[in-house]
Amino acid sequence: EPEVTQTPSHQVTQMGQEVILRCVPISNHLYFYWYRQILGQKVEFLVSFYNNEISEKSEIFDDQFSVERPDGSNFTLKIRSTKLEDSAMYFCASTLRDRGNYGYTFGSGTRLTVV
């Protein structure tokens, strides 16, 4: 069964450093998402992406965050200057279409630890 692949599985970074989280969505999917989950808290929406542009973003997704689909297969989330409170699991998801007919396929996540 097709999978959404996320790398790395765990990243430790120093506060103030830039990090790039990588995702390879399912190949024929068209809609892409990033979510995050701080330990013990809810899964929170960050951003959705379609047709090479952001469709929707949450209040969390401020100027420190950016997304990119650089080569038609990878989908990346960049955090420019990490803060301690960015420590969380980050999940990438994709779906074939976004008309209520298809569920999302999530990756297994990247655990980001900011020290």
Torsion of CA 57, 86, 79, 48, to 10 degrees: -20
Residues 26-65 contacting another protein, CB under 8 A: 31, 33, 35, 37, 42-45, 48, 50-51, 55-56, 58
Site string for another protein, 74-93 (x = CB under 8 A): ---------------x-x-x
- Residues paired with residue 91 on neighbouring β-strands, in sequence order: 35
Output the six-digit token pair for 64: 């420190």
Binding of residue 12 to another protein (CB under 8 A) = no
Pick 14 or 101: Cβ nearer another protein: 101
| Shortest separation between residue 65's beta carbon and another protein, angstroms | 15
Question: In sequence order, which residues have a C-beta less than 8 Å from that of residue 81 and are 6 or more positions away?
Answer: 16, 17, 18, 64
CA within 13 Å, CB half, 100: 0
**Residues of this chain that bind another protein (CB under 8 A):** 4, 31, 33, 35, 37, 42-45, 48, 50-51, 55-56, 58, 89, 91, 93, 98-101, 103-109, 111
